[in-house]
Structure 1
Amino acid sequence: MIELSRTEGVRDWFRPEVPGPLIGPHVLRTGHGRILVDDPADPGTVLVETGGGNYDLSGDPAGLGHALLPHGFYRTDEDFAPLLAERSGPVYRWPRVIYELDRAPCPVPTVAAELRTLTPADVPALAGLSPELQWITETWGGHAAAAASGLAVGAFTGGRLVSVAVPFYLGERYEDLGVVTENGHRGRGLSAACASRVAEGVLSRGRRPSWSTSPDNRGSRRVAAKLGFRFVREDQLYVTGAPPPPGA
């Protein structure tokens, strides 16, 4: 597989765009990640990689040749499952549910926290999040780029950042949201408040917010419902190297 230096020739691989994990469009829009193909002149197989071990794999499985496949989360189809098992270890199917917001988010109660857009000055605050929450900026290449994007919203209590929402994937038509809240501050409406602010920003840019989670993540599904997201479809990711994380 060969990494592309110019990506215009693969844009149509990710159209029409649908709500959910927008890995290819995110790399095209932000430059955070890379796109590999079997043939730069006439791609038949495309592997997209972005931060956090998130991959999009499409096209003809034969085009992979002898390429190794890293452990991670794969958006792909059944045709690639045997190769994932062969070259990346045990394969687990991780059920997902996808939601979409096609109007302004439902109003949420005022929270007892300072809510604001993050800036580069907030990189230390992002670094201070608990280890299990650090994934929130991975598709941006880290805290600095996420904070500089002007798209992340955080909630602060006592001067500490305790909740963050950001478009985890940026597409042409959709932006898929991610949100985290520190364990000791959950149940206070912070996730909904931050995600609502981010969703408003997505809509103001002429795109639609989407929401991807697992069926067992009741907290995430409650937040989506509170904001007015509607169910679109069931989906799945292929996870290699370790079982999928449980809902939390």
Structure 2
Amino acid sequence: MIELRPHQLTAHTRWLCAAEPGPAALAEHVLTTGNGHGWADRAVQPRTIALDCAGHVLLRGDPGALDPAGLAPLAHRCIEAPGRFLPVLGASFDRVVPWERMVYVQRERATAPPPPRGVTIRQLTSADAPALVRLSPDSAWIHASWGGPSRLGRSGHAWGAFHQGALLAVACTYFRGGTYEDIAVVTAPGRRRRQLALGCVVALSRDISARGRTASWTCSRHNRASRLLAWTAGFRLVREYVHYATGSPAVRVARMPA
């Protein structure tokens, strides 16, 4: 596959932008924010296109147009693709692990309890980038889809719970579509079970509604805590799907001699 330039990406990926909740919002997010990469089997009239953002990939088209070596750029990703792509994925990587996922859409308006004393829930700004970095060593994924903490902070799409300047929890739009905004949330270790994440999610969801969009929530079937939080925040299950976690390329691409 070849990487598409921004103008090529805009021309060739409109058919990926389905107004559906969940991972479909990734396509519009890449197009509108410029954060991510597009790949195709060819630049003109491509038969297969892949969009990659924050380690998540949408793969669509004709799997017959692909060869295993060409999928090397999609190693170590989570790929959402129709089942017809499984043979070529299996031949392209040393492992392909199915991962059951659940998509929720906010159906009921939720109310969060008052935050604990001294905690303020507010919208993030670019000045909050250092607080995002300090949230926890494993939380960098929360701003990956925006290209870093500064870009997430100034996006206007994140709400956080603060105490004495420290960020304790944050909820943000992870993939922004025109109809749905798929959200994500993370809480600092040791700060869980205080309903801080719930307060952030409720505030973010109201913000999304004010923009004329609907909040959606995607998580692993086995992430009980995430599923419970979604339900408490008024989200209801609408569908299930499987994406595939890929390993290293199984086929090495031959290098041209110097």
Q: Compute the TM-score of the two structures, normalised by the length of structure 2.
A: 0.88
**Identity between Structure 1 and Structure 2 (%):** 37
Contact 2:160 2:200 in 1 (8 A): yes
- Shift of residue 88 of structure 1? 2.4
Give 3-state SS (helix, strand or coil) of 1:183's partner.
coil
1:79 equivalent among 81, 84, 88:
84
Aligned partner letter, 1:4: R
Aligned partner letter, 1:34: H
CA shift digits 1:107-158 (9 cap, x unpaired):
1111111111111111111110212222101111111111110111111123
Mark the structure with the bigger radius of gyration: 2
How is 1:1-248 mapped onto 2 (pairs within 5 angstroms)? 1-2=1-2, 3-6=4-7, 7-21=9-23, 22-51=25-54, 53-65=55-67, 66-67=69-70, 68=72, 69-102=74-107, 105-112=109-116, 113-241=119-247
| Runs of 4 or more consecutive aligned structure 1 residues displaced over 4 Å after TM superposition | none
- Shift of residue 202 of structure 1? 1.0
- Shift of residue 102 of structure 1? 4.1
- Shift of residue 10 of structure 1? 2.8
Aligned partner letter, 1:98: V
**Distance (whole Å) between structure 1 residues aligned to residue 22 and residue 33 of structure 2:** 17
- The equivalent of 1:245 in structure 2 is none
Gapped runs of 5+ residues in structure 2?
249-258
- The equivalent of 2:255 in structure 1 is none
- Shift of residue 195 of structure 1? 0.9
Aligned partner letter, 2:80: R
Give 3-state SS (helix, strand or coil) of 2:209's partner.
helix
Aligned partner letter, 1:38: D
Give 3-state SS (helix, strand or coil) of 2:190's partner.
helix
Aligned partner letter, 1:86: A
- Shift of residue 15 of structure 1? 4.0
**Distance (whole Å) between structure 1 residues aligned to residue 91 and residue 38 of structure 2:** 22
Give 3-state SS (helix, strand or coil) of 2:21's partner.
coil
